Amino acid sequence: MGRLEDLALHNASLARHELSEALNRIVCLDDEGTLRDKDLGRIAYAYHRMSWWQQVTDLTHGCEETVDGATAILIVRQRAQELLINARPLVNGGLFALAMAESRRGGARAFLDATQTLADALTPPPGRDAEPVNATTAHAMPAGAEHAAAVKEYRP
C-alpha cells in the first residue's frame, strides 16, 4: 500500500471519528434537552464528508478491480465536482431536504478542499508538449489547433 492509499485511509478514519463525535454529542444533548438543528446538521455534514473518503478507500481496496491512490482520489474528486456542478436547487421538500442537500454540498466541498493541493500535484498542466486526446484526431487537426487538443479530460 502506497502513501496515497495510507492518506485516504487516514482521512477516512478522521471523518469516521468526527461522525462518531457528532453522534455522541447528540446523545448527550438529547438527554439534557438542548438538542438543536445545527447538531443534526453536524451529523449530516460529517456523514457526507466521510462518504467521499469512503469512496476513495473502496476504489483502492475494492473487491473487484482496484486502482492506485492517485487515480482513486482523482475519480472521486471528479464525482464531487459533478455533484456541485449538477446540483439542482430544491423547491419542494421542506427544511430537512434543504439541510441534507446543503450537507451533501458541504461534504463535497470539504473533500475537494482537502484534496486540492494533491490534485494539482497529480494533474500535469496543459502545455505544448501535451499529447493529443487520441492518435486518430491528432493527424486530422488543422494547423494551429494543437492548443485546443492539449487540454485533456481525466478519464481513468
**pTM strictly above 0.75:** no
User: What pLDDT was estimated at residue 55?
Assistant: 92
Nearest to 19 by CA among 43, 39, 37, 41: 43
User: Consecutive sets of 10 residues in the chain, 156 residues long: mean pLDDT of each?
Assistant: 81 90 84 80 89 91 81 92 84 74 89 87 67 43 40 40
- The whole-angstrom separation of Cα 121 and Cα 123 is 6
* Residue 63 buriedness (CB in 10 A; 0-12 / 13-18 / 19+): exposed
The reported pLDDT for the residue numbered 134 is 42
Determine the pLDDT at residue 22.
86
Every domain of the chain and the residues it spans: 3-123, 129-156
